[in-house]
Structure 1
């Protein structure tokens, strides 16, 4: 089933939420929602009742979904939204895919937590998507998730949450100094948290002293495998969030880091450098427990 969306009106719908609503309750078959280039200023929610949906943008840079809620924005009830209600794109449906578009939270720096993509869904796939924001850009909720060839930017904890998530050939771009890329909250006993495969880390002009991550919860797991790292990353690499006891429970790992920031001899002693044999176990299918993200 194919549905088209165009902000200019030459399609089935002008607004993306209207297109999602048209299939969320009554359609069982997979649906492709093709989005023509334009600026879509709206907050979009894909409910758990929706069938498998592919949001297919025609041009990654010119197909833009944007909104500007932050944690201090007042909701309909008059109370601040808090972090988890700030998302521009909010995904609760399993087997959801988005390709070739930009999702942005335009709240701006210094406004607090402001999520661009809130993904609380199993078997969620993002391919060639730009996720843009400042603090808390991408929330990865429960389930298995895959991000392929994506660009993700932010400043503080801009990838956070409990999901088992593979980031495959992505660019992570830090916008300010003394920030943090990841804030994983991997549940205890979970084999994999965040795994970055063949990614690149960059920083804006003059950005420095950025940490690879800090543990939002005690059993955070993050692994960077064959990552090209520029000079924005601090030599010690990881931060304990002011809670030394988490140094014994968090699992922070690297293998084959390269670039100016890829030197590991000054990394904190509670992180690990994997052996070649250990790194070979970090493959997409085993990480995702047999689920193949190319199937959607």
Structure 2
């Protein structure tokens, strides 16, 4: 009898501990506020209490404020939405750059450790928020580094200088909708398949917008649709892209291109052989920077029939039938 009682008490204790451990195991919204008026003061604290591989949608609501965090959304988290109270005044910021030296890394930390936010998990959404790398212009400095699949960014500001947005894993799919993205050199780069819809792409120096590294076997890389290409005052010589890898895929269609876009449009990264493999295309663009009479001869202007076949559902359907809801 005594043994049975002990077992019952142990079971009850375990149940209580389990219940306490799962306090946040539900679809309720978590509130983050830097001033202490929420459940958490940092976004990282809120992420830490989320259960692995959630099958329900959980919102982390971030109140206005500046959050200096080097943030990782780990691989085992899914179905999280990080929602800012106000896009311009809810800011995640950090200031690493590639040339920061340490005893362990005397040559610098390198590009891929400089992120402000790294998204390893899949089915993650960022909405109404600013993510910035505000380092000095002393080298590559990534604001957002993605590795997960089916990622969505809606009404976000992604701010930096060189290498602002790194889409890091081939075969992963990303949607950027109504976003503002700025940078200097190669500020959208990597091997992922990414669709940019109704975004403002802002150049801060005479350089290159994209540096896709699309693998040869991937049918799509970067697609910019209904976007606006703008620049700081005095910026007049910007390329649409250069191929980080030989089979880079980048398409601009239905976009408004400012006068800062160079007449030739595209650069071969000083490798003549890239001209035979890079997949650089345009369709139905407008603005002074869209004129095609002096475009690089190795880029293509799509026909109406070809462009009609490039839809978000087809591009994102390369792995499964994912159609992002935004």
TM class by smaller structure: over 0.9
Q: Could you tell me which residue of structure 2 aligns to residue 67 of structure 1?
A: 94
Unaligned 5+ segments in structure 1 are: none
**Alpha-carbon displacement from aligned partner over 1:145-204 (angstroms, at most 9, x marks no partner):** 100010000010000000010000100000012x10000000112111000011010010
CA contact 1:23–1:51 (8 Å) conserved in 2: no
Q: Larger relative contact order (C-alpha < 8 A, sep ≥ 6)?
A: 1
Q: In 2, Cα distance between the equivalents of 1:252 and 1:282?
A: 14
Q: Could you tell me which residue of structure 1 aligns to residue 136 of structure 2?
A: 108
- Report the 3-state secondary structure (helix = DSSP H, G, I; strand = E; otherwise coil) of the residue aligned with 1:66: strand
**Alpha-carbon displacement from aligned partner over 1:120-146 (angstroms, at most 9, x marks no partner):** 110000000000000000001220110
Q: In 1, Cα distance between the equivalents of 2:193 and 2:155?
A: 19
Q: Could you tell me which residue of structure 2 aligns to residue 129 of structure 1?
A: 156
Q: Could you tell me which residue of structure 1 aligns to residue 238 of structure 2?
A: 210
TM-score, structure 1 normalization: 0.96
Q: 2:297 aligns with which of 262, 266, 269?
A: 269
**Alpha-carbon displacement from aligned partner over 1:233-277 (angstroms, at most 9, x marks no partner):** 110000000001010000100001101111011000000000000
CA contact 2:53–2:76 (8 Å) conserved in 1: no
CA contact 1:108–1:133 (8 Å) conserved in 2: no
Q: In 2, Cα distance between the equivalents of 1:28 and 1:18?
A: 20
Measure how far apart 1:51 and its partner are. Answer: 2.6
- Report the 3-state secondary structure (helix = DSSP H, G, I; strand = E; otherwise coil) of the residue aligned with 1:156: coil
TM-score, structure 2 normalization: 0.87
Measure how far apart 1:72 and its partner are. Answer: 1.4
**Alpha-carbon displacement from aligned partner over 1:89-127 (angstroms, at most 9, x marks no partner):** 100000010000100000132x11100000111000000
Q: 1:56 aligns with which of 60, 80, 83?
A: 83
Q: Count the aligned residue pairs.
A: 293
User: Which structure has the greater CA radius of gyration?
Assistant: 2
Unaligned 5+ segments in structure 2 are: 1-26
Counterpart mapping for 1:36-185 below 5 A? 36-74=63-101, 77-79=104-106, 80-109=108-137, 111-142=138-169, 143-177=172-206, 179-185=207-213
